[in-house]
Structure formats: structure tokens, C-alpha cells
Structure 1
């Protein structure tokens, strides 16, 4: 018998084999299978872990965060005592981590730009010194650098009884640096609010000045205006708050320094180690960014009679930043993640506090999941900010 003939225009229904031979269908099918396998593996791990923990009579969950911590933390940015709960202790560790990360990013950027520019200096001595700095500290593991600074700082400074005073009220001892600080007062809260208002005002004035310059070509003295607004508002808030002048000044009482603000050797070791290590990579990023700018930009600046320093600041560096921002983001992320090594020198960062919490409560999985999530969040926030900054710096076609 002959096969049935299909009339012209008759659409034959697709079989399962036809669908499987379709590349788009197979691509979706493979993704569904992959996601299913990941979910299955996750379910197996979680269920197996919960079963084993229950078998060993180990409780699970985050209820321990409301329990009393019962341990002290040497450095805190908020009110904390051994009677506080574990949640407060972890917040203290988080704030200590953020403090190191933020200060480290700012300092390594400044130092990195200086040494990155110095590596391209026409002065032989400056260029070689910058090269030695970069090549030395870049090739020593950051953990060893933390140990080095932690051993050096107590050895380099005297005992508190023989404290060195480089400036009035500033004491350097083997237990850290002590600085005079203002005694807590409501005026300083007002000054903080005034500073925020000033930044908001400067932002809107800058937007207006940019539109004005685009429309008329007339520049606006934004720098002086911004400084005037900030200083004026903050000083006005200081006067309204009563202009307090009382300071807590460090002084030797008994066998230790009392008063003032103490910057511990652990904090200094972590900050110096991370800053020095990361600044070498930032220096290389800056150097490569400057070299990526066409030499014609230098020549154009020279032909207009612009000084080399001014050309570098206003012509070359702004263009090089467009090349440097993506690798700079990686270095900032590395510094934030490397701050977890602070536990090695006894600085009470998030990892250190989490370890103590884990040892006291036995909630290892929960504690580890908390600081893993926090570091993930910090990295994502840093990436979001740098991606926004990268878009702001990108050239806009007109």
C-alpha cells in the first residue's frame, strides 16, 4: 500500500523526536535538567545535615542570637558588654570589619595613585623607589605582612610609662596610639545632621551648575562654594549646640593610659598590612591606565602650554580612570575579603566574633552562614557602587 499523501499546505504535527532535534527546545531542556540536579543536590545536603545534627542532639536555627554572649570584645563602635546578646556581638564584628575595609580602600587608593604616578616619573630615583615598593610588598603574602606589622608595632613603641608624645595629647605606646577626643555632646549630633544636609545641598547645586555651564558656557566656582556650604553649616550647628570644648585627653594612670581614643596595635597592623599590600596592585592599575591614554593627549597639553602636573591631574588621570575602574573594583573586593585575615592577629572583626560565637554555642553552620552572607553582601554593595561610578565616568556619545 502506498503512504498517504499530504495535501499542499497541510501541516503535519511534530513528534517527540522532532522536538528533541530542535536546538532551542534542547537548550531549555538541558537548563531545566541542570537546575533540577542542583536543587536535588541541595536538598540532599540540607536534609542529610539536619538528620545528622538531630542524631547528635545538636539544635539548629538562629534562635541563639537572642542569648547572652557572655564574652567581651576589645574594640567596639557601639555600646556592648558581656551581657549583650550574640546578635549585638556580631554587629560589633561587622562594624569593625567595615571600618577596616572602608579606611583601607580610601588609603590604598591614595597611596596607589601616588606610587602609580611615581612609577612613570622622569626622575630616576623616584621611579626606582616606587618600583622597589611595588615589587617588594606585592610579592609578600598578605598574611605574612599582617604578622610583620603586628610584631613591629609593639616593638617599635615604648611601654605606657615611657609613652612618646609626638604632638600635644597624642601618645604612642606598645599598646597602641592614644588620641584626644571630644566628650560626647548633642552638638556633635547636630553637626553630623548639618554635614548630611550640606552634602545634599552641594549635590543639587552641582547639578544646577552643570546645566548652567552646558547652557551658557560659564563655569561656576563649585569647589569654593561646596567648601563654604559645608564648613558654614557644620560650624553653625556647632554654635547652636553650645560650642562645646571639653576633650577627653589620654594620660598615664597607674600602669596604663586612661582617657582619649585608643587605636590598638591589632587594628593598626591590619589596616597598614591590607593598605600596603593592596596599594601595590592599585599602583599597577593606575600605571597601566595612564599608559593606556594616547600620547597625543600629553602632546596636546604641552602645545597648549599646560604644565605637566596640571595635564596629569585634569587631562590624563580622568581618562585613565575609565580604563582603571574595573580592575580597581577587583582590588577593593580583594581588600574587603582579605580583612577576614584580621583574626590571625587578634583583631575582633566579624570572623573573630563569629568564631567565638560558634565555639560557645556549637552553631557552626549558622555562624559560618552569617559571615559568608555578610561578606557576600559587602562585595555586592562594593560592586554596585563601582559599576555606578563606572557608568558615570563613561564617555557619553552625543
Structure 2
């Protein structure tokens, strides 16, 4: 019996040479090393915080903030706690991101469609827009829009006036219902514009920069998606007498969505992260409020944990929604 089993025993490799076992051993060792590194870093952090008397605490969130926010959709003043100020900053960030996503999607889709226009001038404008904007850092563009464009606008009666809209150095004024009852247009009171709706130049510069910058990248995503649709689709539509715009809207774009949506996911997440550059134009977003909070409380770890969690949650939400949309637009074979 021993002689019969000896060849089989010789054919079994030792565990350190077994290709089925070795990958698991390597992953276990790497995982252990990562856990040890994390434990070392956390231990070092706790020791340093203990030495500085700054152990993790969240009680400061209920203390009065002692600072105000010039523009917010959530009421806030200096007597309110820090958590309320951070919530107001988050609301400002969400407003910029949501409006930026809508504006950039519209602009990028139009520019991407224009790349296939039969009008050579329109195609040229679309290509120049994409190539120029994509190769200039967003920070420089935000500074340009804020200092060169918006702060150079005239004030008072010399402001740019369009029916129902006034664009001045002090902000963008829009007509609307005052107190929900009377329709009111922008008007001057003691040489100061008054209107039911006002957008600050800081928010206007941030939103303009985000839309134009992200729109250029979205235009390339849309152009690539349209180019992925077989040329025969265009020819079949043309043979049926369907116009260029109708072909693009009803035939080409629906098929291109399965290529466009994954790319849009990346650009939307980038736009959400780029919104943190609002501090460059003086717009009070979550990052700006967190920075002020950090300077006043000295709670660096807690403040940055809040920032990391907020932006991570926002990006994951965008990714979740876009992945759902991606599954919806994919072609299913029957």
C-alpha cells in the first residue's frame, strides 16, 4: 500500500509552490501589512492628539460659530452653531453642483452635436471651444470670470439691462414674484438695484466657470458617443427624408447614450470635486465654511473628516444615480 501511494504523494507540490494556494497566501500577507500600517498611523495620530490635548470630540459642533455667511439658502447667523454653518455651506455647494451639472450637460450636448453639423463655421466654433477650454486650468478660468468679467461690470443705471434681467457689478438681478404675489422687475432704489431674485457675482463666476469648463469635456464625451453610432444610421435616416436635427435627436442620440452615460459619470464627479475651488472667487461653500471653522476651533481632524465624508458621499450618490441610468440605457438583447 505504501509503494502504491508513493507516486501520488510525489506528484503533490508543497503549499508554497501550489498555484491554487499561493495567491491566497500573498493576499493574506498584503492585507496584514496594510492593517498593520493603518494601526500604526492611527496609533500615532491618537498619541499626537493626546499630547496636544485634542482628542476626537464633536461637542464643538453645538458651539456658536461667531461668523456669518453672506449668501446662503439656509438661514444662518453668527449666533447659530457650527453644524448649522457647515449645513449652510453644504447647501451652497449642492446648489452650485446641481446647477452646474444641468448647465454643463446642456452646453456640452449642444457643443458635441455641433461637431457633426453640416455648417463648417459651427463645427469650427465647437472644436475651438473644446480645445481651448480643456487646456486652460479651471482655477485660471474662475479667476478670469470673477476679476476680469464680473467685477468689470458697471453699476447703477449703466448696468447691462435686458427685459427682466440686470447684470451689474453687484450681482445678477432677475424678475420674479415679490412675496409670492406681485410680479416685480429689477429697479433702482437710490442707485442700488433691487429685485425679487439676486445672484451674487461670486456665485455667478463660479457657476459660469464650472459650466463652461465641464461643458467642454462633456462635449467630447457626446461627440465620441455620436461617432460610435454606425454611419448607416445616418444614411438610412437621410434616405427616408428625415432632417439632420431630427435624425440626431430621435435616432442617433438614443443609440449613443450607452456610450455617453459612462463618460458623463466621470465628468459629473469631476464637476462636484471642482466646486471646492469656489474659495478662489470668494463664494462661501462647504470648503470655505470648513476652513473658517478649522481656524476658529483648531479641530483639524474632525473638520477634514466632515469634508471627506461630504464630498465622498456626494460623489458616491452621483455615481449611484449614473450607474442606474447606465443600466437603463443599455441595449438588451431579446
Question: TM above 0.5, one fold?
Answer: yes
Give the superposition deviation at 1:373. 1.4
Corresponding residue for residue 194 of structure 1? none
**Which residue pairs with 2:226 in the alignment?**
290
Aligned to 1:352: 288
**Equivalences for residues 1-398 of structure 1 within 5 A:** 5-6=2-3, 18-160=14-156, 162-168=158-164, 170-183=165-178, 245-246=181-182, 251-254=187-190, 256-258=192-194, 260-398=196-334
CA distance in 1, matches of 2:111, 2:219: 6
In 1, the alpha carbon distance for the partners of 2:325 and 2:168 equals: 41
Aligned positions, number: 334
Give CA-to-partner distance per residue, 1:154-205, whole Å, 9 cap, x none.
Answer: 344222464443224x332201112244355xxxxxxxxxxxxxxxxxxxxx
Gaps of 5+ in 2: none
The Cα RMSD (Å) is 2.5
How far does the alpha carbon of each residue in 1:187-232 deviate from its partner, in whole angstroms, 9 at most, with x for none?
xxxxxxxxxxxxxxxxxxxxxxxxxxxxxxxxxxxxxxxxxxxxxx
1:100 & 1:116 partners in 2: Cα distance?
Answer: 23
Structure 1 position 252, deviation (Å): 4.0
Please, what TM-score do these two structures have when normalized by structure 2? 0.92
Shift of 1:272: 0.6
Any unmatched runs of 5+ in structure 1?
Answer: 185-243
Distance in 1 (alpha carbons) for counterparts of 2:207 and 2:229? 32
Give the match's secondary structure for 1:23.
coil
For residues 357 and 349 of structure 1, the distance between their equivalents in structure 2, rounded to whole angstroms, comes to 12
Looking at structure 1, the residues matched to 48 and 80 of structure 2 have their Cα atoms a distance apart, in angstroms, of: 31
Deviates more, 1:113-122 or 1:265-274: 113-122
SS of aligned partner of 2:173: strand
Compute the displacement of 1:261 (Å). 2.4
